[in-house]
Amino acid sequence: MSSLYYKESITDMISGWAKCINAFERDSTIHNDHLEASRSVDIPSVCSSQLIENASLNSPKNKSLFNHQEQYNYFDMLEIIQQTSNALQQCVIRTTGESLRSDTIIPIISTNSLRTMLICLSIVFTGAAYLPMDRTNPQNRIRQLLEENKVAYYIAEEDYDINSIVAILNEELFKCVPKVGSTFKHRALPDDLAYVIFTSGTTGKPKGVTIKHKAVINLAQQSAYNFSMASSDCVYQFTNFIFDNSILEMIMALSNTSALFIEERSFSTKVFLREIHNSHITHALLFPGLVEMFTCEEVALFAYLRYWIVGAEKLSERLMSEALKNGKPPPMR
């Protein structure tokens, strides 16, 4: 919490809670639904990499990122991100003769995976911004985006052989990473870019949307408040990393020293419901259209989640009624 609010704001909140408690003690007829908690809207003057670093230093032994094959605590995750960040900076200097700047945009062509997440965070830690691109897209679509954005290099598992655009292969970044000193210098400011997202282009030509660090910090604050995030929670990352919702899944976990389970398999109802139990998932963002595939019995298992977060589409009456009537979860078989 101290990573998300100024000390003065925390003091104000504690003072407000104390006043509420005193009011309850003086008058037992007061209903708590008449007392609206005040929220400060201060956004700390830090970049998202600093926020994640602060969380990592506060709870180094907490589980951070994991999948079915491997997992990291916050200490190990931070070390890998900082090492890969330094390796990326050195690689760029060697290949282009120039250093990374705050307005540098680095495309990463990949799919959802734990390693992809580490690379995206490493780019942010360099002070540059990342542009996620799905490697399952047609090559001419990938080539078009790279050329239109006039990038000097990109990160991928293979070289797409595009004239004048340098390919930095994943294995180069993880092959020989330099050790990081006791202090890691953050190069981004709150008003600098954190990432760039392109629209799907279903209604016309895809458009790029630039997102600043302060917007990510605001997202972290809002998710901590609205979803009651705790360090014991675990967020299920379902969203493709090329979409905005993946940022919400990531930052709501990593800014609160919660765990982030990164699903690398194709989505299925059975796999998801089993993972709720096996990985102790507490928060999941699933679109209503996707959950329409679930049976009533399967929707009942959502009661094991603390939060099922919906958006983008209207929730059907069936799903709403099924979700609300299941207060106590049935046995998990």
Which residues, including other chains, have CB under 8 Å from residue 200's CB and lie 6 or more apart? Answer: 206
Question: Is the per-residue pLDDT at 165 higher than 80?
Answer: yes
Domain residue spans of the chain = 1-42, 48-285
**Across 19-33, average pLDDT:** 63
- pLDDT greater at residue 326 or residue 104: 104
Rounded Cα gap, residues 120 and 13, in angstroms? 34
Question: Is the per-residue pLDDT at 45 higher than 90?
Answer: no
Question: Is the per-residue pLDDT at 41 higher than 60?
Answer: no
Rounded Cα gap, residues 148 and 129, in angstroms? 16
Residue 271 has which token pair? 């796999």
At 252, give phi and psi (nearest 5°). Answer: -65, -25
Which residues, including other chains, have CB under 8 Å from residue 78's CB and lie 6 or more apart? Answer: 52, 53, 56, 57, 60
Residue 300 has which token pair? 């009942």
Rounded Cα gap, residues 317 and 187, in angstroms? 48
Q: What is the pLDDT of residue 295?
A: 84
Strand 283-285 versus strand 259-262 pairing type: unpaired
Burial of 109 per CB tally in 10 Å (0-12, 13-18, 19+): buried
Distances (CA, A) of 313 to 266, 286, 317: 22, 10, 12
The one-letter code for the residue type at 76 is D
Rounded Cα gap, residues 56 and 52, in angstroms? 6
The one-letter code for the residue type at 315 is L
- CB of 80 closer than 8 Å to CB of 86: no
DSSP string across 123-183:
HHHHT-EEEEEETTS-HHHHHHHHHHTT-SEEEESS----TT-EEEEHHHHHHSPPPP-S-
Which residue stretches of the chain are H helix? Answer: 7-26, 48-58, 74-96, 114-126, 139-148, 170-175, 213-226, 245-254, 269-278, 288-291, 296-300, 317-325
Fill in the DSSP letter of residue 29: T
pLDDT bracket for residue 156 (50, 70, 90): very high
Q: What is the pLDDT of residue 187?
A: 77
Per-range mean pLDDT, top range of 47-56, 87-96, 179-188: 47-56
Question: Is the per-residue pLDDT at 246 higher than 70?
Answer: yes
At 69, give phi and psi (nearest 5°). Answer: -100, -30
Rounded Cα gap, residues 330 and 323, in angstroms? 13
Q: What is the pLDDT of residue 28?
A: 61
**Across 121-145, average pLDDT:** 92
Distances (CA, A) of 280 to 213, 261, 327: 30, 10, 18
Rounded Cα gap, residues 82 and 80, in angstroms? 6
Is this structure's pTM higher than 0.85?
no
CATH domain 48-285 topology: Rossmann fold (3.40.50)
- CB of 195 closer than 8 Å to CB of 208: no
At 151, give phi and psi (nearest 5°). Answer: -80, 155
Helix (H, G, I), strand (E, B) or coil at 210: strand
pLDDT bracket for residue 177 (50, 70, 90): low
